[in-house]
Structure 1
Amino acid sequence: MMRDYDEITSFLGEWGPFQKSIFILLSLSIIHIGYGAMSMVFLSDTPHHHCSLPYLNSTGSNLSQALPLEEVNGQLDYSRCTRYTRLNSTEAQFSNETERCLDGWDYSKEQYISTITTEWNLVCGDAWKVPFSQSVFFMGVLAGSFVSGHISDRFGRKSVLFLSMALHTIFTLIQTVSVSWEMFVILCFIIGMGQVSQYITAFILGNELLGESSRLAFSTLGICVFYALGYAVLPLYAYFIRSWRMLLLVLALPGFLHIPLWWFIPESPRWLLAQGRLKEAEDIVRAAAKKNGVTPPSVIFREEDSAKLMVPPL
């Protein structure tokens, strides 16, 4: 008679020290994803700006003479993308004709020291690059959503989980030294793949390691609440760190705290059984039983239990 996995491992109990540790550790790892997913809100924000006017002080002119007015958010303000054409190089005289910001832009430092917008002048004709950067990130999320499940079926939940953590952390660190917008946006795609792969694999691993009654709590109170907690702490980081490169660095460094989790989070016994690796699956369940203070049966898994879960290779 074929036995169900939950029936086989019912001796572990539902909420022992093993299940609690898995619940907490996997949930904590999600905070890193939560604040990473929305960091672009602060990294790419556009501060108040106007055309740079390097000749202003030397001629004694002021902004009202050099910049036209336009309506911005319902209020009159200096134009952000045009300036009056200067009549000559020695006097403070300007025509009524306008021209582009030929000398770049001056940005307000009141709220940010720097963002990717101020770094690469993603304003006016290049303003589309700011939302496109976020779109590329979510393209990576979409791509990762399609492939992460298949990869974890082939190589294991634990391996893909920690590979995704490494991908997310390392490429975020590389992103802090981006030399161009193009480099930054390509890394956004890779980071998006890493983040969603980590989330999906943590979700799968948690549901396969935890008991039937604790899976619902993990899928809602655990993984979702801790993801939201990441959202909540992001503005706190951004309030104290006003440089986009430094903010990215601080957001990336907690990823290294995941390294010790390798020795505390086991592979999914379900996946091991599906691969025909009965001995490894049984060793993990016995270690869980020891942690919970229960005595496992002399034989936990049989060949037919593995056959029931066996899946054909991709």
Structure 2
Amino acid sequence: MQWDLVCNNAWKMPFSMSVYFLGVLTGSFVSGVLSDRFGRKAILFVTMAVQTGFNVLQVFSSSWEIFCLVNFLIGIGQISNYVAAFVLGSELLGKSIRITYCTLGVGISYAFGYMFLPLVAYFIRSWKMLLFTLSLVGLIYIPLWWFIPESPRWLLSKGRVQEAEAIFHHIAKTNGITLPEVLFSDLELEDIKDKNIKSFSITHLIKTHNIRSITIINLIVWFILAIGYYGLSLNTPNLHGDDYLNCFISGAIEIPANLAAWFFLQKFSRKLSLSGSLFFGGIVLFFVQLIPSSISILATMLVMIGKLANTCAFAIIYTYTAELYATVIRNTSVGVCLMASRLGSIISPYFFYLGAYYEFLPYILMGSLTVFSALLILLLPETINFPLPDTIDQMQRMKGFKNAWNHRYYLNTNETTTEVNCMAIKKEEL
């Protein structure tokens, strides 16, 4: 094995993955702040270039240390473009299609990429050639620069009204709708400028009791979700059966998981959908310890079902978190929540080392944490059937931690000119 990653050096294999997730952790914070300051589109394409470029450079790593350093930089680029793309799509699309994008669009695309990996790896056994081949896929993004617009919500939050109006008119033309030449009155423009032209820092995520409570709960839940998701994913080679087939199934299971997330978000409340998925996934992991070693394939099936529920919850929480926060801090909030999840992902490669003390201890711990997070979700506000808040003012009208058990959540849509115009374009309330 290259770089002698066996015996006394066996710890280097999971450590290299932890270094990658450390890069993801850094990128989660940096990309959120930069995207809220410089725009969703610019950060999306810059970080995609970073990821693709360093993927190619990693092929030429001369030592394990260099490999880890480049892995860290790849992690920064990978999560940064993922967050920027997710938030950009959430802000460009209407409510009904937004849910489809966040679950089926993002989730199933990721699942196909996941399934593609073991198929390519089966035929290309050299890790350098495999990495180089997969890196070339990143070049597909270049022509998309001319087709993807900037978020009009972000433009309005920065006072760049004319650019936002141009995008509104383009969207309206595409949908066969005629809008008035002037979308905003002088009074509305002044209101937008007063509310949104100032910069919003990460401290706004903890500035008031309601927002602070929402943020703390989200951080805990994202952290636990990452431990479960990446712990189960990285443990795939240790399951019964062929490694390539298990990896393929682990990716394929994400398709029904995202379909389930889409269905739940369409038919049920956000809290019920997310809490139910987490609770089911946690309970399933408890049952793994009850399966005799003689029928290990059944244990593998339960692990895959647990991963399905965990993946479903991950798809839902992206949508839920984006709906909880105002436009001016939405990208920062998603980035910070991803930071918490990456703290979980950093320790996830070592989680199954606890099996040395008791074989089923990792599953018991993951099951317990997942059920705990399911209960925490019940303390958050509900966002279904409410427009996305654009300002901190509107966000604070959502009743938070203290009143999470009643349903007196409301937003004054008349104060949000963005919602009114988007409603005209999409013929539906965002």
Q: Please classify the TM superposition score into its range, dividing by the shorter chain length.
A: 0.5 to 0.7
RMSD value over aligned CA atoms?
1.4
Q: Which structure has the highest helix share of the two? A: 2
Is 1:174 aligned with 2:61? no
Aligned to 1:162: 45
**Alignment partners' CA distance in 2, 1:238 and 1:311:** 49
Contact 1:175 1:187 in 2 (8 A): yes
Output the amino acid matched with 2:199: P
Aligned to 1:106: none
CA deviations over 1:275-308 (Å, ceiling 9, x no partner): 1111111111111122222211221234134544
Higher RCO by CA contacts (8 Å cutoff, separation 6 or greater): 1
Give 1:249 deviation, angstroms: 0.5
**Alignment partners' CA distance in 1, 2:67 and 2:168:** 44
**Alignment partners' CA distance in 2, 1:148 and 1:268:** 16
Aligned to 2:102: 219
Normalising by structure 2, report the TM-score: 0.44
Aligned to 2:218: none
Aligned to 1:147: 30
Give 1:157 deviation, angstroms: 0.3
Aligned to 2:162: 279
Contact 2:27 2:80 in 1 (8 A): yes
Is 1:184 aligned with 2:77? no
**Alignment partners' CA distance in 2, 1:231 and 1:200:** 18
Give 1:217 deviation, angstroms: 1.3
Aligned to 2:91: 208
Aligned to 2:149: 266
Give 1:231 deviation, angstroms: 0.8
Give 1:211 deviation, angstroms: 0.8
**Alignment partners' CA distance in 2, 1:180 and 1:165:** 25
Aligned to 1:310: 197
Aligned to 1:228: 111
Give 1:235 deviation, angstroms: 0.6
Give 1:241 deviation, angstroms: 0.8
**Alignment partners' CA distance in 2, 1:243 and 1:212:** 45
SS at match of 1:236: helix
Give 1:214 deviation, angstroms: 1.5
Q: Which structure has the highest strand share of the two? A: 1
Output the amino acid matched with 1:195: Q
Contact 2:47 2:77 in 1 (8 A): yes
% identical equivalent positions? 56
Match among 7, 10, 14 for residue 131 of structure 1: 14
Give 1:183 deviation, angstroms: 0.6
Contact 1:152 1:201 in 2 (8 A): yes
**Alignment partners' CA distance in 2, 1:238 and 1:272:** 42
Map residues 1-314 of structure 1 onto 2, 5 A cutoff.
118-301=1-184, 302-303=188-189, 304-312=191-199, 314=201
Rg (Cα) greater in structure: 1
Aligned to 2:249: none
**Alignment partners' CA distance in 2, 1:256 and 1:130:** 28
Task: Name the count of aligned residue pairs.
Answer: 197
**Alignment partners' CA distance in 2, 1:264 and 1:201:** 16
Give 1:313 deviation, angstroms: 5.4
**Alignment partners' CA distance in 1, 2:171 and 2:194:** 23
Unaligned runs of 5+ residues in structure 1 are 1-117
**Alignment partners' CA distance in 2, 1:269 and 1:308:** 16
Aligned to 1:97: none
SS at match of 1:295: coil
Contact 1:237 1:247 in 2 (8 A): yes
**Alignment partners' CA distance in 2, 1:199 and 1:153:** 14
**Alignment partners' CA distance in 1, 2:179 and 2:129:** 50
Unaligned runs of 5+ residues in structure 2 are 202-430
**Alignment partners' CA distance in 2, 1:300 and 1:255:** 38
Give 1:144 deviation, angstroms: 1.5
Contact 1:156 1:271 in 2 (8 A): yes
CA deviations over 1:102-141 (Å, ceiling 9, x no partner): xxxxxxxxxxxxxxxx221211221111111011111111
